[in-house]
Structure 1
Amino acid sequence: EKIYISYDSTNKNCQAGDIEMLEYGNAKVDQGSPIFNYSIAYDTRNKEPLFYEAYPGSINDVSQLQFMLDKAKGYGYKKIGFILDRGYFSKRNIEYMDQCGYSFVIMVRGMASLVNELVLKHKGTFEKKRIHNISDYRVYGITVKQKLYATDEKDRYFHIYHSIEKESAERTQLENRIDEMTKFMKRHSNEMREFGAGFERYFELYYDEEHKTFMFPVEKARVIENEIELCGYFCIITSEKMTAKEAIDLYKSRDASEKLFRGDKSYLGNRSLRVYSDESASAKIFIEFIALIIRSKLFTNLKEEMKSLDKRPNFMTVPAAIKELEKIEMVRQLDNVYRLDHAVTAAQKTILKAFGIDVSYVKYKADEISETLKK
């Protein structure tokens, strides 16, 4: 049975040491230091990281994808598909995934030129019809089959979605951006001032030809109205036939890999690489990956156990659960025998249940450790 792998990347800063893969690139958090890129392939079905990559910071996501696909083939993965963010989208990458025999699920924003005509064509045909409601994500969605580009040899499936909440947020953001741009430009009236392409996209800029000074802006109403028309829409493209709900379910499963990156940088303290040699860097990255596998297992089991609980206790997060379990300890008593210091608490029982462990097993392991220490 086919599994879908979520592939995502981030980058990390490093200021010290002579490390070959450190280069200046498009840093997500720019500290003015060189970076390296770090990516993870995550099995969304079994909920575990499969493999990782570390590569120079100047390489962008689009360029790296084909090399990752070759590695996946080398590892022996066959019946798989990839769930990708829009940063990996390119015609060459789509063609290469076809050559490798891999399926794909990829996000494209509603305002992207690739899909905006498709969105406008179907706008008003599904957004209020309950048959198209996907309540889990508070969106409405339909599926349209067509070619991805003119020379495409295969039909692709475009899943078009609309969210009322997303529309409200995006329209508010757009209106605020236009207002801020207008105020900024008016503050520079009668000055010799050039504005960037971002301003020229939404405004006609008028200058005094004689003095070369900026006079006033006029909104490009049609451009702004076109963007308003597309607010709240997004599109997921899949290589295989599936429903709009199946497509968004698959894409949303990549949330787990994004949480892995957040956990790596926060709980595991790996925002930066503090090493001084290539060997140390490779070793640390490998240990980080092993730690992510363990943390992923903890997170998955705790999350599944939470579903069976009436309440959402605050000790069922990974850091809180580890802190709670650390309270289970053995002490050496007067007869030189190690015993559990106290009974297992209700919170600890709930946490242990997520991993199939009960109180009797804890006592059994404590006795086993005690016997080992006697020797």
Structure 2
Amino acid sequence: MKISSQFDGGKIEVISCERADDIQLAIPKDNQSDFYQWFYFRLSGAAEQTCQIKLTDLAKSAYPPGWQGYQAVASYDREYWFRVDSEFDGDTLTIKHTPSLNSVYYAYFAPYSTERCADFIASLQHSPLVSTEVLGQTLDGQDMDLLTIGEPGEGKLTCWVIGRQHPGETMASWWMEGFLERLLDESDPVARTVLDKAVFYVVPNMNPDGSRRGHLRTNACGANLNREWQTPTLERSPEVYYVRAKMQQTGVDFCLDVHGDEALPYNFIAGAEGNPSWTPRQAGLQKSYMDALVVASPDFQTEHGYEIDAPGTADLRICTNYMAETFDCLAMTLEMPFKDTIDTPDHDEGWSPDRCRRLGEANLSAILKVLPELVR
């Protein structure tokens, strides 16, 4: 048997791999950071053996409650990912699985590689609705890609959609596929109407370095990009620096930042209610959007989510808070689960790439509903 993770997004440390029923592993920390929770590795040579794979020292991981009720994902072909029995005892996650083939992959959530992202962006540029732009380079020298969809024009609204500030939250990339494919479907009346009224600026992957390195939450130098929006620098957070500079050029009427949450088994929206300048207009826009998304997708709900910040106490280093405060726009964070949706479960796949795509598609219907209300 062999455990390996030297591939795009891979992350694991082998403690012991001598017996199938007692494979012991640890999750390394993000570079220059104490965050760890993302894992992704390959097990070879264990076909038809009853395996117990133990991920240890998780009581000190980034979000220990995230392991409660969690089931790991596995795949033979890295396309279809299914859930496998997993138990958490407070410090160790034990994955119990008998692989039918000699090569099987396990991960925290269905991985989304930087190569897949590059292929997806390359495929989209064939659309006459899309123009591509490289805003700059990351600390590892990777491109920061921006897609502009539709034509800017007099009276058109400016909408920004970004994803994967936290690289381990790969559901954001799967969501992007569904959202962008529907937005570019010229036979879809919702997409056509939306693009008549707005131009979209989309950053499919805000954190290419963390994605390739297999980080949970940070970029190459250990910066949590979603705490860099007030004062980004080229030395620490060029990803945010370049995107924010472009936003200042275009202006912003709408901003959606797509994430995943380790602990909560729900899809939900977090807003900027704690901002000093939070207004009844922003509150009304957010409610309108959420109400429309509930109708568009039964997988979305509004009863559960983060505790709302007290007035005036919001952390303005966070993208959503910074955007709402700076541009007086509708800015929101969309969160998806690593686990499954407790109200609409799928026992085989849990929350999955395909369901992420479907939620991405549904958000376009919510955008259509709220666009007329964004006009000042």
Q: Same fold (TM over 0.5)?
A: no
Larger relative helix fraction:
1
TM-score, with length taken from structure 1: 0.25
Question: Which protein has the larger Cα radius of gyration, Structure 1 or Structure 2?
Answer: 1
TM-score, with length taken from structure 2: 0.25
